[in-house]
Amino acid sequence: MGDSYLNNSSSASTSTYSNQSRLQYEDGYQSIMDVAYFLNEYYLWVVFAIGFPGNLATIITIVRMRSLGSFTLYVVILAMTDNLAICLKLTFYQLLRNTVNIGTAGCRIFNFFGNFFVTSANWVLVIMAVERLLAVRYPLKIQKLMNCKRSAVALTIVGTVIATVYVPILWLVYYDDYHQTCIVDQSSVRLVSYLQWANVSMFAFIPFSVLTICNLLIVRVIKESFRVRSALRSMQQTVALKPKSSLYKYDVFIQRQIMLMLFTSTLVFVLLLFPICAFNVADPYWEDSVRPRSREYAIKYLIFQLTYILCDSTHAVNFYLYFLSARKFRRHFLAMSSCGAPFTRAASL
């Protein structure tokens, strides 16, 4: 989603492909392009219809749990960021499709904040995964290492870095009155090249790589972590601290639910993000061998659209993953939606 702002994958690129379609083209070209245009036109509405209410439900459910820990803080921030990302992109492209003159200031604001929010959402997941890796690797120290204050500091630092990376947008992007779309100024080739690679790296490559590594390491150490917890539980029973055993069981249950929620979300995120990473790696080599107006050119554009559909869907699926993977979250949501009595025990999940 972030890279699509700079590449103009929606209305701007559609007009470019449309102009080429008026010329002579190979058999099958137009039918494939029509499918790509249809997906381009409507998929964001589907993402919005699924994602916006789901993210809103996540925020309300977590807030009604009345217990804020570092993980629940991340979940709320992620849901808010996902909704902002969806709404900004949908609004931006609808304005361009309806030829609304948003001016250079509008182009810069939408491009900067659009890229900022979609990239920030991915990095919130990265921070969550790193914290969970520390939790399973150092279960006795995680409470001291991470709390809400430190989590807020981590989010602020990451947000500042992301905003700094996208600062060039504020003077490179401008509104083209003739084509009625937002254009990137190509006069500074090195700066444009930096911005494109920084964008795809911050948005896709780095989060994809870090989350993949974190998931593999979590799978590797999680058995060892649970063995440590079992050993601690045996020690507690040996010294007759039985009143704490129920609390210990509850804590282990909560930690497992958190782990399952996060692992499911990050795994699905990695799977949905892989196609766009692969496309960006293959694109420079594929571009040289594809002739304009050829059937292969249309197939490439269709694949381009499909990768962004999968990519943008990462902002819409988290609530449903939480609902399916976390029993505690599911119980709280169902109790809330059915106006049931709230739970007497506050949860950190």
For the segment 97-110, what is each residue's pLDDT rounded down to a tens digit? 888 899 999 999 99
CA neighbours closer than 13 Å in the CB half-sphere of residue 258: 27
Among 282, 314, 331, 349, smallest CA distance to 119 is for 314
- Alpha-carbon distances of 21 from 14, 30, 32, 40, 303, rounded to whole Å: 10, 7, 11, 16, 18
Domains along the sequence of the chain with CATH: 2-337 (1.20.1070.10)
28: three-class secondary structure by DSSP: coil
- Per-residue model confidence (pLDDT) at position 46: 94
pLDDT confidence tier of residue 5, bands split at 50, 70 and 90:
low
Do 311 and 272 meet the contact criterion of CB atoms below 8 Å apart?
yes
pLDDT surpassing 60 at residue 239: no
As given in the structure block, the two tokens for residue 126 are 């990265």
The Cα 240–Cα 197 span in angstroms is: 59
- Per-residue model confidence (pLDDT) at position 187: 83
Phi, psi of 65 (to 5 degrees): -75, -15
Q: What average pLDDT does this structure show over 163-169?
A: 92
182: three-class secondary structure by DSSP: strand
- Per-residue model confidence (pLDDT) at position 294: 81
DSSP-derived secondary structure letter, 174: E
Return the minimum-mean-pLDDT range out of 130-134, 320-324, 338-342, 344-348.
344-348
Per-residue pLDDT tens over the stretch 244-292:
455 455 455 556 667 677 778 888 888 898 898 888 888 877 766 677 7
Strand partners, 323: none
Length of the chain: 349
pLDDT confidence tier of residue 316, bands split at 50, 70 and 90:
very high
- Alpha-carbon distances of 108 from 83, 194, 207, 250, rounded to whole Å: 20, 17, 25, 49
- Per-residue model confidence (pLDDT) at position 254: 59
- Per-residue model confidence (pLDDT) at position 92: 93
Among 77, 206, 70, smallest CA distance to 132 is for 70
In the chain, % of residues over pLDDT 90: 28
Per-residue pLDDT tens over the stretch 282-311:
887 776 667 777 888 888 899 999 999 999
The Cα 156–Cα 137 span in angstroms is: 25
Q: What average pLDDT does this structure show over 140-168?
A: 86
Would the CA dihedral through 12, 9, 318, 118 be positive or negative?
A: negative
